[in-house]
Amino acid sequence: MIQFLSPIIKSGIGKSFKNKSILLSLVAIPAVAIGIYHQNNQGLRFYTASQVKMNEAAFIAPQLSPKWDFSPERILSDAKKIIDTSNDFYNAMVAIENPSIENFVIPSINFENENSLAINQLTFLQHVSKDKLIRDASLEATELITNFDIEISLRYDMFKQFDKIFNDLKDNKKYNDLKTATPKDYEIFKYVEKCHKDYVRSGLNLSEEKRNEIKEIKKRIALNSLQFSKNLGEQNEFVAFTKEELEGVSDDVMKQFETYTDEQTGEQKFKVTFKYPDIFPVLKTAKNPNTRKIAFNADQNKVPENEKLFIDTLKLRYQLGKILGYDTYANYNLDIKMAKNQETVMEFLVDLKDKLKPLAEKEIEVLKAIKKTEAQELNMAYDDHYYIWDHRYYDNKYLKDKFNVDLEKISEYYPVESTIQGMLKIYETVMNLKFIEETDKDLKSTWAGDDVKQLAVWKMDDPSKPEFVGWIYFDLHPREGKYGHAANFGMAPSYIDKDSKRIYPVTALVCNFSAATADKPALLKHNEITTFFHELGHGIHDLVGNNGIGRFNGPGAVPWDFVEAPSQMLEFWTWNKNELLSLSKHYKTGEKIPESLLESLIATKHVNGALFALRQLHFGLFDMKVHTTTDDNQIDNMDLVQLWNGLREEISLVENGDEMNKGYDSFGHIMSDSYSAGYYGYMWAEVFATDMYYSKFAKDPLNTKSGIEYRDIILARGGIRETNDNLKEFLGREPSKEAFLKELGLQ
């Protein structure tokens, strides 16, 4: 998933059909010397930072990393200063009688570029700070900045200035034609065009009465989204079980649970939180079906206070779309995506559902047979049902029994330190980059001390002249109050400043991977390796942008139904034998993972893949159903509980039993401006991701030539050109869905 913090908070999750066990991704390494790699005729060598002293001058970053020494008071003070300064700037801009590129557009670009980092730091801290007071201040600052941004986006006087300039440029080939315009002039035109379109989509071409109505609607939606996210981030809920009820859960996992004595029964109870490293192992390995049922439904029913926020937001979105001239909110939000309208999306989703159903029905029968056999072995009654809380358990059991895949055993070969080193090595080889950890305490600054790693990233196209590309942070393990999923947060984009100097980007990976225990280091499950690869892909997208205007660089610059494709493509590396072998190093012995164990893991890539894809389609179709209402009465009369659970049974082919839950209360994507009526984008983007991988990397995953082309055509161009044109240039042809359908087993 990718998160963009400015000007409006947006959220998302990175997830793929290929990896049916990947964590929901809406990415702090322990002390590890992330090193430097050098490509030479003898192959790839790894250097620690201390071994680079002979050429250290070449790796002095030309831009210091940002400082994170914020107090609650400073956060709010800085937010108010930014708002005051911005007000002064925009008031000056609208006072210009004859706006032009020189006196209006370029100052606007510079002002936007220069303020992005400051704003994003203030709004980011709510997700990651150890200090609750700082998190609360960051949330308050976010509300102030968001409301101000809404005010600015609805300033009619600013729209009129942009409208004048847009009408001057729209038919001028000196600016609007990629073939005849200079890169700088074309970029300026695209900036004016984008701003103008954003104003129109905000209703600035409507009456003042409607503009004021839109303003209030947007503010309420933004406030609901912030509160929804805060409720999820701050929740400390858990479900408690006895040791007997957790039979099957490994000793290593049991050690991470807090314990207490039940006052009524005197029994020792184990607290299972709803953080991934706690809840997933219980759902996958607890033998008692009632334990799994209780755990699953408790997790699904967390943060019940979010339901009112969700329902209110649905009503507000419908009203927004209606005022802006759209029959549904979905059609409003899809207008700027590749799919363009809800009919195209529904056709895509329903077609996939129908094609996948026969495969999924066969997978269900296999899993039910495993359930029946286990019931006989345990002398339990078999009820001929397959419930939603059964699925992770019997999917995991099938992998162990049929393929001899023990995911916890496999994780012993992937300690965080060496695995991260190996993953960076792959990225360095494919994209010709270099990562260097900042260990100087005088230069390093993070929001959570040594829980977070800070790295400088360099481009090595000319090894004699390394080219700095930016800063990246890794914050990888859970802690109280921290954002609960996995995401890349873009802090500051790359851009050219008013003195024609390149300003370098800053980005952060925030995850919740398994932490170290008293007797073991942090070990990565295979799905966590895949999640890191995915989120680092978003981070690299942030770092290598080479446009002059910040808003056109990074993942946020491309259509939202393509944004996941570059990172989804990179997940393929985590299913390749050679790459997984190179990453492995047993935490005790240092041995490589046995090839037989690796081959068994890889053989499971598509096991129960149709069921996983249908689960994704449940999310996507629920998202579309709630955002394609055509009047307020439909929302008032909508039975969300029935819709959520009914669609799951119909689409995912798993039963709800006697339990109806409210999983939509923690469905963070659906409260995002970008992912609402947009969750289909994960599947849509997978078409392009699969096509790119099989066309360019399947035969030679470490091909640097293809990697540089991918870096420079797909990533570095950001949103300045049409996505489909970039794909055609990279692939050498029109994109095709053939590889995607083959990957799903549909061809």
Q: For the segment 549-560, what is each residue's pLDDT rounded down to a tens digit? A: 999 999 999 999
Tell me the mean pLDDT in the region 613-617.
96
Q: Which domains does the chain have, with CATH numbers?
A: 72-233 (1.20.1050.40)
Q: What average pLDDT does the structure give for the chain? A: 91
Residue among 63, 155, 173, 161 nearest 104 (CA): 161
Task: Please give the Cα distance from 250 to 248 (Å, whole number).
Answer: 6
pLDDT of residue 17: 42
Q: Is the pLDDT of residue 50 over 80?
A: no
Q: Which of 350, 292, 316, 281 is nearest to 617 (CA)?
A: 350
Give the separation between CA 507 and CA 539, rounded to whole angstroms. Answer: 6
Q: Which of 530, 533, 529, 519 is nearest to 587 (CA)?
A: 519
Strand intervals (E) in 104-192:
none
Tokens matching residue 570: 């990179």
Query: Cβ(12)–Cβ(487) under 8 Å?
Result: yes
- The Cβ of residue 243 has, within 10 Å, a number of other Cβ atoms equal to 14
Give the Cα separation of 651 and 643 in Å (integer).
12
Report how far residue 351's alpha carbon sits from residue 544's, in angstroms, rounded to the nearest whole number: 36
State the number of CA atoms in the 13 A half-sphere of 16 facing the CB.
33
Instruction: Give the tokens for residue 244.
Output: 């007997």
- Residue 352 or 517, more confident: 352
Q: For residue 485, what pLDDT is reported?
A: 87
Residue 307 annotated among the catalytic residues of the structure: no
Single-letter amino acid code for the residue at 215:
K
Euclidean distance between CA atoms 490 and 123, whole angstroms: 11
| CB-based contacts of 24, cutoff 8 Å, min separation 6 | 1, 13, 15, 276, 485, 486
Rounded distance between C-alpha atoms, residue 225 and residue 219, angstroms: 10
Structure-block tokens of residue 83: 């708002």
Can you give the pLDDT at residue 55?
66
Q: How far is it, in rounded angstroms, from Cα 345 to Cα 368?
A: 32
Listed in sequence order, the residues at least 6 apart from 6 whose beta carbon sits closer than 8 Å to its beta carbon are 116, 119, 120, 123, 145, 149
Above 50 in pLDDT, residue 278? yes
Whether residue 6 is predicted with pLDDT greater than 60 in this model: the reply is no
Predicted confidence (pLDDT) at residue 420 exceeds the cutoff of 60: yes
Identify the H or E element spanning 367. Answer: helix 342-377
- Burial class of residue 500 (count of CB atoms within 10 Å of its CB; 0-12, 13-18, 19+): exposed
Give the rounded percent of residues in the chain with a pLDDT score beyond 90: 87
| Segment 136-191, tens digit of pLDDT | 999 999 999 999 999 999 999 999 999 999 999 999 988 988 889 999 999 999 99
Mean pLDDT of 225-251: 95
DSSP for 567-614, please give it: HHHHGGGGG-HHHHHHH---TTT-PPPPHHHHHHHHHTTTTTHHHHHH
Residues 14, 567 contacting (CB under 8 angstroms): yes
The mean pLDDT of 506-528, rounded to a whole number, is 93
Q: Measured between alpha carbons, how far apart are the two ends of the chain, in Å?
A: 29
pLDDT grade for 5, boundaries at 50, 70 and 90? low
The DSSP code for 271 is E
E strands, 588-726, are none
Contact 629, 318 (CB under 8 A): yes
Of 424, 720, 707, give the one whose Cα is nearest residue 583: 424
**Residues 546-568 as b or e (16 or more Cβ within 10 Å = b):** bbbbbbbbbbbbbbbbbbbbbbb
pLDDT of residue 281: 96
Report yes or no: 279 and 273 within 8 Å, Cβ to Cβ: yes
Q: Which residues contact 734 (CB under 8 A, 6 or more apart)?
A: 728
The closest of 85, 82, 660, 732 to 388, measured between CA atoms, is 660
| Catalytic residue selected from 428, 535, 579, 743 | 535
Q: Tell which residue, 511, 512, 505, 622, has the closest CA to residue 556.
A: 505
Question: What is the per-residue pLDDT for 514?
Answer: 86
